[in-house]
């Protein structure tokens, strides 16, 4: 049995300003991760056997926009704002249905 039911990793990689590739940090990834972590705690979904929100280094998909991945389903998402994060939490994390429009 896994320690967490769902494990969500937000790419929070920060590249140098002159880097050739974009980075998720420049799209507000840290704030999105913080928001998701707060919301999961607020909903009583955090902790052993439940949901863990983590930040990750580069997930190597930054060209597709800010990126997160939900395990164990291995569903990759991009997002724009807190409404997108809410949709991922409500539909995927809580209801178990991946959000097709945000999938990478």
The CATH number of whichever domain residue 48 belongs to comes to 3.40.30.10
**Cα 103–96–54 angle (5° rounding)?**
65
Classify residue 84: in a domain, yes or no: yes
Number of domains in the chain: 1
Question: Is there a domain that residue 89 lies in?
Answer: yes
The range of the structural domain enclosing residue 46 comes to 6-102
In a domain, 62, yes or no: yes
Phi-psi bin for 65: left (phi > 0), alpha (psi -120 to 50), beta?
A: left
pLDDT at 17: 83
Instruction: Identify whether 95 is part of a domain.
Output: yes
Distance (Å, whole) CA 41 – CA 60: 28
Instruction: Report the predicted TM-score, pTM, of the whole model to 2 decimal places.
Output: 0.94
Is residue 60, in this structure, part of any structural domain at all?
A: yes
The answer to whether residue 1 is domain-embedded is: no
* pLDDT tens-digit series, residues 43-78: 999 999 999 999 999 999 988 989 999 999 999 999
Residue 1 has pLDDT above 80, yes or no: no
């Amino acid at each position: 049995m896994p320690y967490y039911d769902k494990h969500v990793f937000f790419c929070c990689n920060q590249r140098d300003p002159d880097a050739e590739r974009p980075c998720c940090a420049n799209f507000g990834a840290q704030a999105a991760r913080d928001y998701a972590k707060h919301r999961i705690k607020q909903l009583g979904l955090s902790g052993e056997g439940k949901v863990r929100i983590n930040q990750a280094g580069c997930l190597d998909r930054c060209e597709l926009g800010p990126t997160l991945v939900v395990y164990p389903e291995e569903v990759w998402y991009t997002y724009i704002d807190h409404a997108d994060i809410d949709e991922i939490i409500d539909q995927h994390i809580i209801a178990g249905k991946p959000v097709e429009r945000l999938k990478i």
